[in-house]
Amino acid sequence: MKNLKVHFKLIIFFLYFINSFNILAAKSIDKFSNAKDISNYFSGILAINDNQYQESYKYLRSLDDLENSHYRYSQYFHYTLIALNKLKDAKNYSKELEKKNIDNFESNLISGVYYLENKDLEKAHIYFKKLTDNNRSGSLQNLIASTLNIWTDIKNFDSTLNRLDATSKKYENIKKIQKAFAYCYFDSTKTDGVFKKLTSNPRVNYSRYFFFHTNYLISKNYKKKAKKVLQSSLSIYPENLILNQLKIDLEKNNLSNNQFDCKNTSHIIAEIFYIAATALSVQENYFASNFYLNLAKYLNPNFVSYDTLYAENFYIMEQYSESKKIYEKIKNYGLIYSWYASKQIASITIKQNEKEKAKKYLKKNFQQIKNPSIYQIFDYAEFLKNNEKFKKSVQYYSEVIKKVDKKNKLYSKALNGRGVAYERTEQWKKAESDLLNSLSLFPNDAYIINYLAYSWIEKGINIDKSLIMLRKANELRPNDGYIIDSLGWALFKLKNYKESKKYLELAVSRMASDPVINDHYADSLWMNNNNLQARYYWNYVLKLKKTEEKLKKKIKQKILSGLKN
């Protein structure tokens, strides 16, 4: 099966290669002198796709001079070298391309970064000037190009602000961030006010830049003001990782984590690379995201925050071993990072089908925290609930409920979590009370509405009321498969089979591998006289790995006898 998957990926890559690159020119094909070269090339690309960079390096470096006729080769090789943190090798390769007059965006970027890290701004600027391409106006690459040009050719405060003002309107938020850094770089007396204005924008989440504001105040020895800004930021973003770690570091007078100097051009550019990496990660372009992250880490190796996104990218790509390795490293950077990384490692361990090992691991790490915060207690309660330790989770949810004010969002979340745990342990009266109390505090929380209404439907009570609630939840979260399923199921219970089928079909399109949703859809098909299709979906549910034995038993009976009106 594994070999079949690899061959399938290779076929997909080959088709993509032909489609994307309009087939290699005849000159390019000549470079593939034998089948082994072709195999090495595609094996190298496949290894990149699988984030096996050492393997990719082995394959691609064997193809001498291919960059002369196929520019994509040099791109892939550069990405591989940066992924392996071989920046010096990448810079030397860029020099080779330059001599051949076939340098490109990546090669000039890497050469510039190399000289920047070595504090040669003049040489760095020479390479960064080559990056701008009028054909890519408004693109992320052009934003990076203009940013690098500005920060390696700083003349004075006014000209820097004017050049930043020329940034495309598409990147207005990034322009504001850079302007704040410019005020800090030139040590303007207005820096405090500029950061304050930036972070007070209610329409954009600038939580990360509370860190840079606080960091600036600390650098000016305004420690009281720094603590005040930090405390204010945590009241708005109480679970923010970088801010919580800074609070502890500040209390201990140990600011070794996340070192940042706004007068250091390399640090500012590293942060711009991080912004680019975040944008690419959101677009699910994890390969390119990691490229910019590695450049950021090269320019500012003492900024732990970059590693958190790096590990997250690998996690999403299901490169669990690599992700776990980075999280193990992150654990060493303070109490907040340690707990965060421990949760992620436990999550990875579950993904690797070692649930019991994960439970023991997180339990041990939680017990090692001397005075866990309410957020850490809540995290652990959530972990226990999500891993079917319902009775134990109730204990920790109750602890959170006792310790927090009702106005705190965590109070409602803990009530909701405990309500779910009570429901799963068949303590319905307690569950209903918690869910109703949680909903009274946040009446527009679609997920609380959904859980309570669905629970009523399953118990055959308040179905009309549940339908009204679920229509509201669906308006609040129109693309959520679980909510769409609940709405369809409420209609089914009210014998509105035609409308029910419409919603349940939509739910299946959103959650194709969910056993319960497929079972619901099959039921609606049967009641709409689509018996053959219904049996098809019931048989499909039997094949799903997630299908519980209890549900399998019911479905086998339905396949034999169908449903009664």
Contact between 280 and 289 (Cβ < 8 Å): yes
pLDDT computed for residue 253 by the predictor: 86
Distance CA 166, CA 151 (A): 14
pLDDT computed for residue 33 by the predictor: 53
Instruction: Mention every residue, 6+ apart, whose C-beta is less than 8 A from residue 393.
Output: 381, 382, 384, 385, 417, 418, 421
Q: Is residue 32 part of a domain?
A: yes
557-564, long-range: CB < 8 A, 24+ apart: 558/522, 558/523, 558/526, 559/535, 562/526, 562/531, 562/534, 563/523, 563/526, 563/527
The CA distances from residue 111 to 78, 92, 274, 477, 558, in Å, are: 11, 8, 19, 47, 66
Of the three residues 263, 295, 312, the one that is the final residue of a domain is 263
Distance CA 59, CA 53 (A): 10
Of the three residues 230, 263, 296, the one that is the final residue of a domain is 263
Structure tokens at 17: 């290669």
Q: Is residue 340 part of a domain?
A: no
> pTM for this structure?
0.86
Lookup result for tokens 């009321």: 465
257 and 173 co-located in one domain = yes
Q: Is residue 120 part of a domain?
A: no
Q: Domain count for the chain, please give it.
A: 2
Cα dihedral sign, 106-107-108-112: positive
Structure tokens at 125: 């600027």
Cα dihedral sign, 313-315-318-322: positive
CATH code of the domain in which 179 resides: 1.25.40
163 and 256 co-located in one domain = yes
Return per-residue pLDDT of the chain as tens, 565 residues.
Answer: 444 444 444 444 444 444 433 333 334 444 545 567 777 888 888 888 777 888 888 888 888 777 777 778 888 889 999 989 899 999 999 999 999 998 889 999 999 999 999 999 999 999 999 997 655 656 888 899 999 999 999 989 999 999 999 988 889 999 999 999 999 999 999 999 999 999 998 888 999 999 999 999 999 999 999 999 999 999 999 999 999 999 999 998 887 788 999 999 999 999 999 999 999 999 999 989 999 999 999 999 999 999 999 999 999 999 999 999 999 999 999 999 999 999 999 999 999 999 999 999 999 999 999 999 999 999 999 999 999 999 999 999 999 999 999 989 999 999 999 999 999 999 999 999 999 999 999 999 999 999 999 999 999 999 999 999 999 999 999 999 999 999 999 999 999 999 999 999 999 999 999 999 999 999 999 999 999 999 999 999 999 989 999 999 999 999 999 998 6
Q: Is residue 41 part of a domain?
A: yes
Q: Is residue 72 part of a domain?
A: yes
pLDDT computed for residue 542 by the predictor: 96
Cα dihedral angle (297, 298, 303, 307), rounded to 10 degrees?
20
Instruction: Mention every residue, 6+ apart, whose C-beta is less than 8 A from residue 195.
Output: 180, 183, 184, 209, 212, 213, 216
Exposure class string for 368-403: b at 16+ Cβ within 10 A, else e: eeeebbbbbbbbbbbbbbebebbebbbebbebbbee
Q: Is residue 17 part of a domain?
A: yes
Domain of 232, in residue numbers: 157-263
Q: Is residue 285 part of a domain?
A: no
Helical H runs in 481-530? 481-493, 497-510, 515-527
pLDDT computed for residue 76 by the predictor: 87
Helical H runs in 283-319? 286-299, 305-316
Distance CA 305, CA 303 (A): 6
Of the three residues 86, 106, 128, the one that is the final residue of a domain is 86
Q: Is residue 148 part of a domain?
A: no
Q: Report the alpha-carbon angle 548-553-554, nearest 5.
A: 100
pLDDT computed for residue 133 by the predictor: 65
Contact between 235 and 244 (Cβ < 8 Å): no
pLDDT computed for residue 62 by the predictor: 82
